[in-house]
């Protein structure tokens, strides 16, 4: 099997599995909120996990909240910030290339009467500086929402430049940053990053599904999304799960090591595939300076889903961002926003790598692409 769909989800690592088994043993699986000593022990374990997670992300423990996924983190940050800070402004800026976890929150806010302003994206997938300044200059911007690494193309946000512009044109604007596809693939130090709120997802870094993290910088006020027993300082009610938090931490520990070496390996795979596929007439849609873990490529003569299923025959797994429905052919809104034409976008396939993929897999992939062209291309 060749699994090139790591941006959709990753396989669970051995360390995560082992940690989860350890944390489901009898005494530690008590309710961390219980008053008896088993509860205290579970809470100690949980708070230890929170401290270590915070340490690896460059945050303070009280700035870290465990959630069920990055979508929940995004909902809490975006909706919660706007509801808590009504006097900060009525506008939110973002781009149309965000993940649905952000875009749907913005849609929701628009229905509540907020003004959503979209900054234009360039062919390189990055927000256009002049458009950002123009939208900020209109004033009243409470919140800016961006993504550090785009999930469809790997485009990397020049966050230092973006945050500098926001801080100089509209200093009171808070910044939410989706860090889901960046975690473990580039160094992240929240104490230096300059974002006010960030989301992370466990299942993209070899943890199980069902665990995410929300970072809220000290001093930033956010209304909770989930109300109840007041756990996690009232920010996220619901009985804490040391098992899921521990799974996130175990995964984070692994991907925090050897980031540079892993990136070099991904670069080698990416460059090889870019070259080989281009020589076969495929069009590379990921920007040249994208993170090497994602390669968006449009195959000549094959619609996305057809290529996906052809590859599946060879036990190769990739993603398509264009899904056909009976009524309508959906094409990636991210690619369209970047200015890719509809026909090219309709043939786009996303290959996404993890630190565990190899050059041998990349070579085998190309062999099978050749076979697919020989067997299935109608000339």
What does the radius of gyration of the chain's CA atoms come to, in whole angstroms?
22
Pick from 12, 20, 42, 69 the residue near ligand PLP by CB under 6 A: 69
Nearest residue to 287 (alpha-carbon basis) of 120, 150, 94: 150
Does 101 bind ligand PLP (CB under 6 A)? Our answer is yes
Cβ nearer to ligand PLP, comparing 147 with 304: 147
Q: How far is the CB of 5 from ligand PLP (least distance, A)?
A: 11
* Pairing outcome for strands 212-216 and 174-178: unpaired
Which one of the spans 67-75, 123-131, 135-143, 292-300 is the region binding ligand PLP (CB under 6 A)? 67-75
State the pairing for strand pair 212-216/64-67.
antiparallel
Query: Residue 151, interface with ligand PLP (CB under 6 A)?
Result: yes
Burial 193-206 (b: 16+ CB within 10 A, else e): bbbbbbbbbbbbbb
Annotation marks residue 105 as catalytic: no
**Count of CB atoms situated within 10 Å of the CB of 301:** 14
The answer to whether 207 contacts ligand PLP (rule: CB under 6 A) is no
Under rule CB under 6 A, residue 220 binds ligand PLP: no
Give the angle subtended at the CA of 184 by the CAs of 183 and 189, to the nearest 5°. Answer: 65
Decide if residue 178 touches ligand PLP (CB under 6 A): yes
Instruction: Report d(CA 128, CA 338) in Å as an integer.
Output: 11
Cβ-proximal residues to 161 (8 Å cutoff; 6+ apart), any chain: 129
181 binds ligand PLP (CB under 6 A): yes
**Of residues 53, 71, 232, 304, which one binds ligand PLP by CB under 6 A?**
71
Task: Indicate whether 75 belongs to the interface with ligand PLP (CB under 6 A).
Answer: no
Nearest distance in Å: CB 163, ligand PLP: 18
Query: Binding residue for ligand PLP (CB under 6 A) from 19, 79, 99, 263?
Result: 99
Residues 1-30 binding ligand PLP (CB under 6 A) are none
Q: Which residues of 322-339 are buried (b: 16+ CB within 10 A; e: fewer)?
A: beeeeeeeebbbbbebbe
CA distance 331 to 279: 25
Shortest Å distance, C-beta 181 to ligand PLP: 5
Q: By rule CB under 6 A, what count of residues binds ligand PLP?
A: 12
Nearer to ligand PLP, 10 or 304 (CB): 10
Binding site for ligand PLP (CB under 6 A): 69-71, 99, 101, 147, 151, 178, 180-181, 201, 212
Q: Which residues are catalytic?
A: 324
């Amino acid at each position: 099997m060749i699994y090139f769909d790591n941006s959709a989800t990753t396989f669970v690592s051995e360390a995560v599995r082992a940690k989860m088994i350890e944390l489901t043993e009898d005494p530690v699986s008590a309710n961390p909120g219980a008053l008896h000593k088993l509860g205290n022990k579970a809470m100690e374990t949980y708070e230890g996990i929170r401290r270590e997670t915070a340490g690896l992300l460059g945050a303070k423990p009280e700035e870290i909240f465990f959630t069920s996924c990055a979508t929940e983190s995004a909902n809490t940050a975006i909706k919660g910030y706007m509801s808590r800070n009504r006097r900060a402004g009525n506008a939110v800026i973002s781009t149309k290339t965000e993940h649905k976890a952000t875009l749907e929150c913005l849609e929701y806010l628009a229905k509540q009467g907020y003004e959503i302003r979209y900054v234009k994206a360039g062919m390189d997938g990055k927000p256009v500086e002049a458009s950002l300044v123009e939208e900020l200059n209109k004033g009243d911007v409470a919140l800016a929402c961006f993504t550090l690494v785009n999930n469809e193309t790997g485009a990397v946000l020049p966050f230092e430049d973006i945050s500098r512009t926001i801080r100089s044109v509209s200093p009171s604007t808070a910044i939410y940053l989706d860090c889901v596809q960046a975690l473990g693939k580039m160094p992240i130090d929240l104490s230096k990053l300059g974002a006010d709120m960030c989301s992370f997802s466990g299942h993209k870094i070899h943890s199980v599904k069902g665990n995410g993290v929300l970072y809220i910088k000290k001093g930033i006020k956010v209304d909770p999304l989930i109300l109840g027993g007041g756990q996690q300082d009232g920010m996220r009610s619901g009985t804490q799960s040391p098992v899921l938090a521990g799974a996130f931490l175990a995964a984070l520990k692994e991907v925090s090591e050897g980031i540079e070496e892993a990136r070099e390996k991904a670069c080698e795979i990416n460059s090889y595939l870019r070259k080989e596929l281009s020589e076969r007439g495929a069009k590379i849609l990921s920007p040249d300076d994208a993170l090497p873990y994602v390669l968006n490529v449009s195959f000549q003569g094959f619609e996305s889903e057809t290529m996906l299923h052809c590859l599946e025959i060879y036990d190769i797994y990739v993603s398509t961002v264009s899904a056909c429905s009976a009524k309508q052919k959906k094409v990636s809104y991210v690619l369209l926003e970047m200015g890719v034409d509809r026909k090219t976008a309709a043939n786009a396939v996303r290959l996404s790598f993890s630190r565990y993929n190899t050059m041998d897999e990349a070579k085998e992939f190309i062999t099978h692409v050749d076979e697919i062209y020989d067997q299935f291309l109608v000339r």
